[in-house]
């Protein structure tokens, strides 16, 4: 048995409903009835990276990041394939430059989506500490 199981139903056009456990996600290639697959991927990557930074900071550095807001942006080529991803993290905690580097490194090491992305799509990351 697999560790993760989802079901995706596409009845017509370019809209689908995906179910993961008790949750449903509407995805639309045109963006008219839900986020596009690329938007979902970038949002998932940003979420996972934020969680990974928080976990690493807590467990390895003993730092509570407080509120973390991650702005993500991505570039697409003419075929709508992702060509670049960038994150800007706004972190409530006051961090030194060394702590920022450590948190980002831990996030990259812990984030499951980062590990699954091909290296050319690993996010470029900026962090603003003491942001809130």
What's the mean pLDDT in 72-83?
96
Beta-strand ranges (E) seen in 1-132 are 6-9, 15-20, 23-28, 68-76, 82-91, 124-128
Per-residue pLDDT at 12: 87
Per-residue pLDDT at 42: 97
Q: Is 90 exposed, middle or buried (0-12, 13-18, 19+ CB in 10 A)?
A: middle
Per-residue pLDDT at 126: 94
Are 87 and 46 spatial neighbours (Cβ–Cβ below 8 Å)? yes
Determine how many CB atoms are found less than 10 A away from the CB of residue 71. 12
pTM: 0.91
CA distance 46 to 111: 9
* pLDDT (tens digit per residue) in 12-52: 899 999 999 999 999 999 999 999 999 999 999 999 999 99
Domain ranges of the chain: 1-35, 37-128
Provide the Cα torsion 102, 67, 90, 48; round to 10°. 70
Q: What is the mean pLDDT of the chain?
A: 96
CATH number for 37-128 (one of 3.30.300.20, 3.20.20.150, 3.40.50.1970, 3.40.50.460): it is 3.30.300.20
């Amino acid at each position: 048995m697999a560790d993760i199981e989802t079901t995706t139903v596409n009845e017509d056009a370019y809209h689908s409903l995906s179910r993961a456990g008790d949750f449903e996600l509407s995805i639309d290639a045109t963006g008219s009835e839900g986020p596009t697959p690329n938007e979902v991927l970038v949002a998932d990557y940003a979420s996972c990276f934020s969680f990974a930074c928080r976990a690493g900071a807590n467990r390895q550095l003993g730092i509570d990041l407080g509120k973390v807001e991650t702005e993500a942006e991505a570039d697409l080529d003419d075929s709508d394939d992702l060509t670049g991803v960038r994150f800007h993290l706004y972190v409530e905690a006051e961090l030194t430059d060394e702590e920022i580097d450590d948190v980002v490194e831990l996030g990259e090491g812990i984030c499951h989506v980062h590990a699954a992305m091909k290296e050319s799509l690993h996010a470029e990351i900026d962090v603003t500490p003491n942001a809130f």
